[in-house]
């Protein structure tokens, strides 16, 4: 396993990798996406008001799903308790648990950053190329026009086997767009390049 053993309490690494078909690279990408996107959600939760309890329940529900999605079960359970309390209109209980929850998720995020840095360091020996293969990009472009997600994912997986001197961020962006079903954006950007 490329991930080093972790002491992150409540994070089940093996279950997380298993959830994504045993694909460590995909799990690492999901963790990175979580790290990059959780901040604004925590800011929203931090703005808790008694009048906004219903909205809070919706927001914390989404965060809960993200936490369970990466197998961060400790924080996922905390979010679940907050969601139940918010739906039951137990403002004092939510207020008491909100700050410790936000702090815990922020600490988790920092530990995940370290975990990913270690993972990427251990994944050394990744071959390098000057830039992403044009034939693969063409394949992704054609697949996006056909809404063929599997074909796009296979081509992206092929591209992800390498590190690139130039346009490496394009591969990450493509993967994110496929996950978000941003086919129009993929088509627009690749058509401009190819």
| Secondary structure class of 11 (helix, strand, coil) | strand
Domains in the chain: how many in total? Answer: 2
Q: Are 58 and 115 within one domain?
A: yes
Tokens describing residue 80: 């679940």
Same domain, 68 and 152: no
Rounded Cα distance between 67 and 109, Å, is 11
pLDDT tens for each residue of 38-80: 999 999 999 999 999 999 999 999 999 999 999 999 999 999 9
* Closest among 158, 155, 160, 161 to 140, alpha carbons compared: 155
Closest CA to 61 of 74, 42, 77, 80: 80
- Which residue range is the domain that position 89 belongs to? 13-122
9-45 burial by CB neighbour count: b if 16+ within 10 A, else e?
Answer: eebbbeebbebbeeebbbbbbbbbbbbeebeebbebb
Given a contact cutoff of 8 angstroms between Cβ atoms, the answer to whether 40 and 70 are in contact is no
Tell me the pTM.
Answer: 0.62
Residues 20 and 115 in one domain: yes
Q: Are residues 19 and 100 in the same domain?
A: yes
Distance of CA 140 to the CA centre of its chain: 21
How many percent of the chain have pLDDT more than 70?
93
* H or E stretch covering 9: none
Segments in the chain below pLDDT 70: 1-2, 4-6, 121-126
Kindly state whether residue 4 falls inside one of the protein's structural domains.
Answer: no
Residues 33 and 88 in one domain: yes
Residues 108 and 140 reside in one and the same domain: no
Beta bridge pairs of residue 72: 11
């Amino acid at each position: 396993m490329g991930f080093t053993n972790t002491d992150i309490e409540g994070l089940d690494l093996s279950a997380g990798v298993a959830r994504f078909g045993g694909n460590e690279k995909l799990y690492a990408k999901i963790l990175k996406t979580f790290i990059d996107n959780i901040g604004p959600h925590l800011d929203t939760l931090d703005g808790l008001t008694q009048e906004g309890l219903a909205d809070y329940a919706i927001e914390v529900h989404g965060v809960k799903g993200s936490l369970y999605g990466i197998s961060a079960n400790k924080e996922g359970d905390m979010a679940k308790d907050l969601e139940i309390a918010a739906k039951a209109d137990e403002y004092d209980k939510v207020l008491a648990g909100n700050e410790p929850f936000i702090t815990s998720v922020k600490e988790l995020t920092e530990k995940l950053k370290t975990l990913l840095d270690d993972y990427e360091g251990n994944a050394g020996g990744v071959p390098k190329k000057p830039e992403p293969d044009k034939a693969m990009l063409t394949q992704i472009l054609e697949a996006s026009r056909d809404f063929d997600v599997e074909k796009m994912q296979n081509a992206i997986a092929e591209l992800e086997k390498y590190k690139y001197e130039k346009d490496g961020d394009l591969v990450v962006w493509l993967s994110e767009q496929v996950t978000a079903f941003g086919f129009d954006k993929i088509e627009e950007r690749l058509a401009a390049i190819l």
